[in-house]
Structure 1
Amino acid sequence: MEKILPSTLNMEDFIAACQRPLRKSIRVNTLKISIDDFLLRAADKNWQLEPVPWCDEGFWIEADESVVPLGNTAEHMGGLFYIQEASSMMPVSALFQADDSYTSVLDMAAAPGSKTTQIAARMDNQGVLVANEFSSSRVKVLHANIERCGVRNAALSNYDGRVFGGWLPEQFEAVLIDAPCSGEGTVRKDADAMKNWSKESVISIAETQKDLIESAFHALKPGGVMVYSTCTLSREENQEVCHHLKAKFGELVEFESLKSLFPQAENALTEEGFLHIFPQVYDCEGFFVARIRKLGSAPAPEVKKRLGKFPFVKASNKVQQEIANQLKQTLDVSLPNDCSVWLRDNDVWLFPSALEPMLSEFKFSRMGIKIAEAHKKGYRWQHQVATALSNGSEKNCVVLSIDEAREWFMGRDVRPSDQSGQGEVLVKFGNDVIGLGKWVGNRVKNGLPRELVRDKNLF
């Protein structure tokens, strides 16, 4: 560490910063609520917020968690915010600088979903976001976070990121590769982060990172932008990985400076224009961020594809219109224009239209959102219709009291006082849609997916 510290920093400050607890930070999910409206909510709850300079939606937060942890607040469970380390918001901010907008983005190492949901919000649920995670056990957590945050433009996959360059060459306008790393920057959050550290493992991980960055580069369209980031500090896993890409692809690789990403960015700027962030500089985790542009086409690795039969069939215009009409009639929810309906047996799915060119080229584990199951009398609507398609102004809603909302989030049926109805209904707490239920007399049957149920210590 002492060898790689810039001359402007010293080892004493580095060690002192590593020993301080990490400040808690959150990111407002603008798919669900505006920043201004969230600030009003926070003031009501006596949450003290301090803006994160590199992310308009990001705030350091001081809140009394002695009774209710932030993760068990109604606002968190309703997807209005994400508990995310401040420095981890920087890669997505670097990808979406100024007026950058993209219709196809790859998040190559996506779980648990903090950056994936941040990208989806920056895309405003438009286009397609491919979220890949190599660890199959972590894909469940990724999906639960996408579901909670109302993301509908994502397609999930479960592969080693090294496959993308050959399987989906030049498909994406932007790629984020938040690479697996030795985690040297995370010691403030996890005192054991350095327990198994060795120089050999750093060099071994760097070889994997070089493979991943090459794959990401091949998957990028000419003219596209890639952000490479890690939560580690060693040059081997950071600058040297980027220089490896430059050495391999030469003039096709351009390093774009992050000097103007936010005020004081120059305090962590390297000579190449990367951000190499030591924990004492901004009082956050250690982090590395590089923004790279692809200036031309490069021949991709050749692969032999065996995809098997695609199990979905695109709905005819007539069927799609019938589904749209029934959804509007039943729940007062409209289907978005940039999606199409696909069918698999009795299941009805909504895929982002921008995904369609990739369907014949790649096998995804989950695409878009499941909106219904067909049965004899029509359609049985699913939870994500509420979280990803409704906006809270629909007429067919039932509003719960705080006690009823607690019961709802614990997976129980509720009996709203002096109310009854028929069929499916959007469930709200205050102005927030929190799920989909079904009237059975004066009881609303709970439709919350199992992975979103909490069992204690609620708001």
Structure 2
Amino acid sequence: MDKNTYIPENFIDDVKSYIPPHLSLEDFIDSCQQPLRLSVRVNTLKMSVADFEKEAQKMSWQISPIPWCPEGFWLTRSKEEEAALPIGNTALHLSGCIYVQEASSMLPPLALREEIHAIEGNEFAILDVAAAPGSKTSQLGALMDNRGLLVANEFSSSRLKVLAANMKRMGISNCALSHFDGKIFGDYMFECFDHILLDAPCSGEGTVRKDPNALKNWSIESNIEIAEVQKSLIKSAFLALKPGGSLVYSTCTLTPLENQQVCSYLLEEFGDAVEIIALDHLFDNANLATTDQGYLHVWPQIFDSEGFFIAKFKKRVSVAHHDQQIKKGKFPFEAFAPKAQLAFNAYLKKQFKMNALPGNLMQRDKELWLFPEHLESLRDKIKYARLGVKVGTIHKNGVRLEHELATSFGQLAKQNTQALTQSQAVDYFQGKDIRLEKLTSETGEVILTLCGAPVGLGKWQKAKIKNNLPRDLIAQGQLITWV
């Protein structure tokens, strides 16, 4: 129990005015002072749930399924093990097989699961309006199975870098990153997206179990200011949504000012064009947290989680928008030359027995990128900070492969792969070359794997594999050892 959790009296007075009658204020305060359970989500782009369960058993991790997320688990490790090796430095995490994600934050993407799984082929686009650090974005990418186009936007430049790093680690290959205030999407990408997730910036009232100081600067005035931003974002998101599409709005806060009242604003603004999709059947016992309107208002004591709010809407018909904007400027990429493309594909076939990569190869100066197939119709709508996967650097003698090609497509390789041992993996993530137990006659590039998942590239050199891990990804400290 953390009695140091800061819960101001004026916040408690405010909560009293809207806590549901079937819930106890005392239970709420007690829950806020309880430690948050560690939870992880299996990244099915890199590992199956069944394989994760086997790995957890090998390491004597105690896991229990999260009821609303088939890929989610609460996880218990010994205090000694966690102190010696944080979960973020374990092999499963470094390989991108798991993402440490709070259980209730898995709910917003799951509210779109049914719609995503109903789509056939690659001709669809999904927008994540406020994406960093990437837990929900990578969850959407896994639900999409890297099909279609996933536009992930982040307004903060520093958080955008974290988002990009997480997309690489998790093997998300159908993603385009943008760096804007989310208010621009309705104007520049009017009715472009099949489905949209708006996990809005908020006051974070539901996060006190993770951050004891989350309420240090809490005030009603701040709630009101944030709600105005949220209203502008939800209006923009609805304008960017195609007719027939779904919009999920979520926050990690509790106040109706930032939740129900923002939803009411959307309903008032667009009237009969908006339909509420009730979430009371999203999972077993969802009704315990469902409001009269059909929204999920997850209080910490209901499911022993963080506080969260999730609402889902359908856009019934197109709406009028008379202030659409058009991006200026030339698109800085051009198609990779057909002859060079054939040579590149031939190398992948020869070295890895890998077929042509799914997507469109595009060139910018000496950079070679693979764009998602569905980007064409949306590529000129806005300026993107990053598009698809950087697969190589072009030289006069061909293409030198990049780290991301391995993390995104390494599972397609049928030869020249090397499974890292525990000690080799430590060396690899610390930027060291990998010593081989015996000499090899293999040459050229090799895809390195950990826990069965691709983690990067190396180059065969008789007694070792030369490490090609980018410098910004080299880890410091203890890695992948067990007490």
Local SS of the residue matching 1:439 = strand
What's the counterpart of residue 110 of structure 1? 131
Listed as ranges, the matches of 1:8-19 within 5 Å are 8-19=22-33
**1:140 aligned to 2:157?**
no
What's the counterpart of residue 265 of structure 1? 286
Q: CA deviation at 1:68?
A: 1.4
275-284 or 414-423, which moves further after superposition? 414-423
Local SS of the residue matching 2:376 = helix
- Can you list the C-alpha shifts for 1:122-168, whole angstroms capped at 9, x where unaligned? 00000000000000110110011000001100000000000000001
* Selected match of 2:99 from 82, 85, 107: 82
State the alpha-carbon separation in 2 of the partners of residues 136 and 238 from structure 1.
26
For structure 2, which runs of at least 5 residues remain unmatched after alignment? 1-14
Percent identity (aligned): 47
Structure 2 CA distance for partners of 1:351 and 1:28, relative to 1, 3 Å: same
Listed as ranges, the matches of 1:366-445 within 5 Å are 366-391=386-411, 394-420=414-440, 421-429=442-450, 431-445=452-466
Structure 2 CA distance for partners of 1:116 and 1:22, relative to 1, 3 Å: same
Q: CA deviation at 1:304?
A: 4.2
State the alpha-carbon separation in 1 of the partners of residues 71 and 207 from structure 2.
22
Q: Is the contact made by 1:347 and 1:370 (CA closer than 8 Å) also made in structure 2?
A: yes
State the alpha-carbon separation in 2 of the partners of residues 99 and 192 from structure 1.
37
312-321 or 257-266, which moves further after superposition? 312-321
What's the counterpart of residue 362 of structure 1? 382
What's the counterpart of residue 46 of structure 2? 32
Local SS of the residue matching 1:191 = coil
State the alpha-carbon separation in 1 of the partners of residues 372 and 144 from structure 2.
12
State the alpha-carbon separation in 2 of the partners of residues 127 and 173 from structure 1.
10
**1:125 aligned to 2:134?**
no
- Can you list the C-alpha shifts for 1:345-366, whole angstroms capped at 9, x where unaligned? 1211000011111112211010
201-210 or 321-330, which moves further after superposition? 321-330
Listed as ranges, the matches of 1:198-277 within 5 Å are 198-277=219-298
Structure 2 CA distance for partners of 1:397 and 1:419, relative to 1, 3 Å: farther
Q: CA deviation at 1:441?
A: 4.0
259-268 or 323-332, which moves further after superposition? 323-332
Q: Is the contact made by 1:392 and 1:432 (CA closer than 8 Å) also made in structure 2?
A: no
Listed as ranges, the matches of 1:292-311 within 5 Å are 292-311=313-332
State the alpha-carbon separation in 1 of the partners of residues 247 and 118 from structure 2.
13
Q: CA deviation at 1:393?
A: 5.3
Q: Is the contact made by 1:276 and 1:289 (CA closer than 8 Å) also made in structure 2?
A: yes
For structure 1, which runs of at least 5 residues remain unmatched after alignment? none
**1:54 aligned to 2:75?**
no
State the alpha-carbon separation in 1 of the partners of residues 341 and 110 from structure 2.
36
State the alpha-carbon separation in 2 of the partners of residues 165 and 304 from structure 1.
9
Local SS of the residue matching 2:311 = strand
What's the counterpart of residue 6 of structure 2? none
Q: Is the contact made by 1:26 and 1:85 (CA closer than 8 Å) also made in structure 2?
A: yes
- Can you list the C-alpha shifts for 1:39-94, whole angstroms capped at 9, x where unaligned? 11111111111111111101110013132111100110000000000000000011
Local SS of the residue matching 1:391 = helix
Q: Is the contact made by 2:188 and 2:327 (CA closer than 8 Å) also made in structure 1?
A: no
State the alpha-carbon separation in 2 of the partners of residues 62 and 452 from structure 1.
27
Structure 2 CA distance for partners of 1:119 and 1:430, relative to 1, 3 Å: closer
Q: CA deviation at 1:449?
A: 2.2
Local SS of the residue matching 1:66 = helix
Local SS of the residue matching 2:55 = helix
Structure 2 CA distance for partners of 1:301 and 1:438, relative to 1, 3 Å: farther
TM-score by length of 1: 0.97
Q: Is the contact made by 2:392 and 2:400 (CA closer than 8 Å) also made in structure 1?
A: yes
* Selected match of 1:69 from 86, 91, 104: 86
Count of residue pairs brought into register by the alignment: 458
- Can you list the C-alpha shifts for 1:291-330, whole angstroms capped at 9, x where unaligned? 1000011123524434312110022444433322222212
323-332 or 243-252, which moves further after superposition? 323-332
State the alpha-carbon separation in 2 of the partners of residues 333 and 114 from structure 1.
29
Local SS of the residue matching 1:408 = helix
Q: Is the contact made by 1:89 and 1:115 (CA closer than 8 Å) also made in structure 2?
A: yes
State the alpha-carbon separation in 2 of the partners of residues 400 and 269 from structure 1.
47
Greater than 6 Å deviation, 4+ residue runs: none
Q: Which amino acid in the other structure matches residue 253 of structure 1? A: V
Local SS of the residue matching 2:434 = coil
